[in-house]
Amino acid sequence: MRRYAVTEFSRPLCMVVEDDPVPHGTEVVLDLQRCGVCHTDLHLREGHYDLGGGKRLSLAERGVGLPVTLGHEILGRIAAVGPEAGEAVGSLGRSVLAYPWIGCGACHRCLSGEENLCAAGRCLGVHRPGGYAEKVVVPHPRYLIDVEDLDPSAAATLACSGLTAYSALRKIAGDPAQDWLLLIGAGGLGQSALRLARALGHVRIVVADTAPAKRERALALGADRVLDPADAGARAELLAVETGLAAAIDFVGTTETARFALDGLRRGGRYVVVGMFGGEVTLSLPLLPLRALTLMGSYVGNLDELRDLVDLVRRHGLTLVETETVPLDQAEAAMRRLEAGAVAGRIVLSHRA
């Protein structure tokens, strides 16, 4: 089998050829059908996150060892199962979506169903080999979700892009039929969030992005208003909306987007940070209680949320983000396009249809 791995941080992916994996214990081997290309993959290839102020978070110090085969939006056909996988796997050849945000399985977070928050994660495409490969090993069948009836390219993106947007939306409070919601960033995540917010009953949605083409796309997808955060009048427009801005979800995560969101929130508003492009923000602490603001981060989502998301997509017939499918051997080229900002929705790698 071939896989495309980071063998040195800040260097292009390398193709590695090795023996096909043999499943042990509860493991399940998937023949790759699709794997989404995500901004997290860019951070992993570089080996760090930008924390702002000249500071970096080293991924090597966080347990990411080399080589690492990228790719966590994984959809494939069941090819082989370990002797302890049991009948829960179902039939060979079935198309399944893999939940990639796997924890240690033993800590309080894992036992309470929040493996994505485990401090000793074993995530596919991060700590374990991911989907930039012809075959992928999933440690247990409980992480597999049947998607036989869904478009494979669109369904693959649910494991991260869709799940991240859905989990962030689940964290905002208020009345979706009355309150205004701000989505910052109209790329793949923002587009997914816009469609999901409508399906979840949100009526008043404003989308902010500095790119005119992305604002136009957001309008075409049903945003009530679009704003350019760099526009001097954008903050005033947020402050003037009826009932005030109840919540903001930031899919970019820079100093500028944080300031834009925080300045626009009403009293009791909630700011949810998803994006990790880098930056920092200075807050006057007395204003937090005086304005009764809630600041929180949202990191992907848990397994139950992914199952709920797949059900929601199936019931509403949703396609969350436009996809472009390219061959697996174009993984490095796809990452370069994403890095250059030349991707409107989501690139999905394909090995077998």
Quick: pLDDT tens for 12-21: 999 999 999 9
Ranges for all domains in the chain classified under CATH 3.40.50.720: 165-297
The reported pLDDT for the residue numbered 155 is 97
| pLDDT at residue 353, as a whole number | 46
For the cut 90, the answer to whether the pLDDT of residue 87 exceeds it is no
Q: Please give the structure tokens belonging to residue 72.
A: 């966590």
Instruction: Name the CATH architecture for the domain at 2-160+301-350.
Output: Alpha-Beta Complex (3.90)
> What does pLDDT average to over the chain?
94
Tell me the per-residue pLDDT of 58-81, one tens digit each, with 9 for 90 and over.
888 877 889 999 999 999 999 999
For tokens 């919540």, the residue is 247
Residues of each domain in the chain carrying CATH 3.90.180.10: 2-160+301-350
Reported in sequence order, the residue ranges of the chain that DSSP labels E, i.e. its strands, are 2-6, 14-17, 28-36, 48-52, 55-58, 68-69, 73-81, 95-98, 135-138, 144-146, 180-184, 204-208, 225-227, 245-250, 265-273, 294-297, 323-327, 346-350
Q: Which CATH architecture best describes the domain 165-297? A: 3-Layer(aba) Sandwich (3.40)
Q: Which of 83, 78, 69, 76 is nearest to 23 (CA)?
A: 83
3-state SS, residue 245:
strand
pLDDT band per the 50, 70, 90 thresholds, residue 341: confident
- pLDDT more than 90, % of the chain: 85
Nearest to 152 by CA among 131, 129, 125: 131
